[in-house]
Amino acid sequence: MFATRTGWNLSVNRFTVALENHRKAGKPLLDLTASNPTECGFEYPAEEILAALARPTAMEYHPIAQGLLSARRAVGEYYREKSIAITEDNIFLTTSTSEAYSFIFRLLCDPGDEILAPRPSYPLFEFLANIQDVKLAPYSLVYDHGWQMDMNSVRAAITKRTRAVIVVNPNNPTGSYVQPGELDELNRLCADHELALISDEVFHDFPLRRTLHADFAANQGALTFTLSGLSKIAGLPQMKVAWAVVGGPDKLRKTAVERLDVIADTYLSMNAPMQHALPVLMESRHGFQKQLKERLEKNLTALDGLMARQRVCQRLEVDAGWYAVLRVPVTRTDEEMAVALLKELDVLVHPGHFFDFEQDGYLVLSLMTPEKNFLEGAKRIVECFE
Ligand SMILES: Cc1ncc(COP(=O)(O)O)c(C=O)c1O
C-alpha cells in the first residue's frame, strides 16, 4: 500500500524513552538542548510584529511564484547590509529552508541522483533527500585545531549521479564556517563535474570566534543556492519564512530561476500576511540577535572557565552558531552517555551520534540555554567526567 521511501523505522530511541520517563516522573531537568528561541526568555517586539501581520493588504491575493516584490526587497536589503548585491529576481521565498531544499532537489535531481552533504551535520538532510528520492552521500568534516572540509572525501564521494554539494555555513553543530579557500576548491570541483552548490546559512549571523568565511551568495564560480530564513536569524520559527538566493554564472542562473519559478508556481505556498509583514519581521532580527549573541558569548565564556580548570573534557573550536561541542572520554556510546547524564545528573544534552559524528565521545550543548541552567548543567557534566 505505501511507498518504500516511507518505510522508516519509527521506533523511539533509548534517549527519547529516557527523556519521556524523566518528564513523566516529574524529575528536575537542566535542558542543555534548548533551541526553540520562543521558549528561551528573549524579548520580541510583539505588538509591532502582530500589527504588521494584520495589515489590510493581507486581504488581497497576488499569486506571485517567487514571492511579493516588497518581501523579496526586504531579503535583498539583508544581503546589502552584508555588502552583497542581489537582485530581487534571484530570490525565491519559501515557507522553510526545508521547502527550499525540496524545490532545489526537484530542480536538480532525477530519482536516484546524489547530493553530497557534510558529516557531522544537521540530521534532517537524510529525510529531506529521501522524501525527494534523492540519495544523500556524506563527505567528512575533520577536526584539527578547528573543523575543516576533508576535500579528499568530497572528491571520493562524487559519482556520475552527483548533482550538488551541500555546505552548512556555519555548520550545525560544529559551528564551522566554510573558508574562502574551501569555496575555491568547491568551485573547481563543480566546474569539473557539473555540480551545483547549496549553502545553508541559517546560523550565519552568529559569529563567536573566528569570523573569516566564504560568501556563497556572491559566488560566481558555480550555480549556487544560498538558503536562510527567519527561524534562526530572527528567532521566529513559527512564522515559517525562508528563502533561496540563486547565483552563479548567468546562463545557469537564468535557467535555474526559470525552472524554479514553475516549481514555486505549482505550490504558491507563501501566505500574504507573512509576506506583507516581512520587512518588519526582518528588522526585528537586530533586537533578537543582540540578546542571543550576549547569551551565546556568556555561555561560551562560562564553559571555557570550566574547561580551564580540568583536563578530561575539551571544548572544540567554534566559529559561529548556537552550539558548543564537547569532546569527552569514551566510556560508552554517546547515546548511553546522554541517557546516563539525564538519569544520574538530571542534565539533558544531545549525543554526538544524533549529528552523525564518525566516532563516540562527543556531546552537543546548546549555548542558547538560559545562563544559570547552562552553567549548572555544564558544571555537573565536567565534574562527573573528572
Ligand atoms: C542547518 C539547518 N538548516 C535549516 C534548519 C531549519 O530551518 P527552517 O526552520 O527554515 O526549515 C535548521 C534547524 O535547526 C538547521 O540546523
* 128-150 pLDDT, tens digit each: 999 999 999 999 999 999 999 99
Set out the domains of the chain in order of their start, with CATH numbers.
Answer: 12-43+286-385 (3.90.1150.10), 46-283 (3.40.640.10)
314-359: per-residue pLDDT in tens?
A: 999 999 999 999 999 999 999 999 999 999 999 999 999 999 999 9
Q: Ligand 1 atom 6: the closest Cα is on which residue?
A: 97
Residue 237 in contact with ligand 1 by CB distance below 6 A: yes
Grid cell 562527543 is found at 362
Q: What is the pTM of this model?
A: 0.97
The rounded Å distance from CA 202 to ligand 1 centre is 6
Does 211 have pLDDT greater than 90?
Answer: no
Q: What proportion of the chain, given as a percentage, has pLDDT over 70?
A: 100
> Which of 323, 305, 321, 316 is CA-nearest to residue 382?
305
Average pLDDT, the chain: 97
- What's the confidence (pLDDT) of residue 386? 86
pLDDT band per the 50, 70, 90 thresholds, residue 16: very high
- What's the confidence (pLDDT) of residue 227? 98
Which of 10-14, 134-138, 304-308 shows the lowest per-residue confidence on average (mean pLDDT)?
Answer: 10-14
Residue 174 in contact with ligand 1 by CB distance below 6 A: no
The best mutation among 202, 230, 350 to test binding of ligand 1, ranked by most ligand atoms within 8 Å of the C-beta, falls on: 202
Of ligand 1's listed atoms, the one at least distance from the Cα of 228 is 10
Alpha-carbon distances, residue 310 vs 234, 281, 305, 326, 328 (angstroms)? 36, 43, 10, 13, 12
- What's the confidence (pLDDT) of residue 50? 97
Does 210 have pLDDT greater than 90?
Answer: no
The rounded Å distance from CA 97 to ligand 1 centre is 6
64-78: per-residue pLDDT in tens?
A: 999 999 999 999 999
Q: Ligand 1 atom 7: the closest Cα is on which residue?
A: 97
pLDDT band per the 50, 70, 90 thresholds, residue 215: very high
269-278: per-residue pLDDT in tens?
A: 999 999 999 9
The rounded Å distance from CA 178 to ligand 1 centre is 17
- What's the confidence (pLDDT) of residue 59? 95
Other CB atoms within a 10 A radius of the CB of residue 154 amount to: 22
Question: Cβ distance 351 to 379 under 8 Å?
Answer: no
- 314-315: strand order across its sheet: 314-315, 323-327, 362-366, 350-351
Residue 96 in contact with ligand 1 by CB distance below 6 A: yes
Does 55 have pLDDT greater than 90?
Answer: yes
The rounded Å distance from CA 146 to ligand 1 centre is 23
How big is the chain by its Cα radius of gyration, in Å? 21
- Which of 94 and 145 is assigned the larger pLDDT? 94
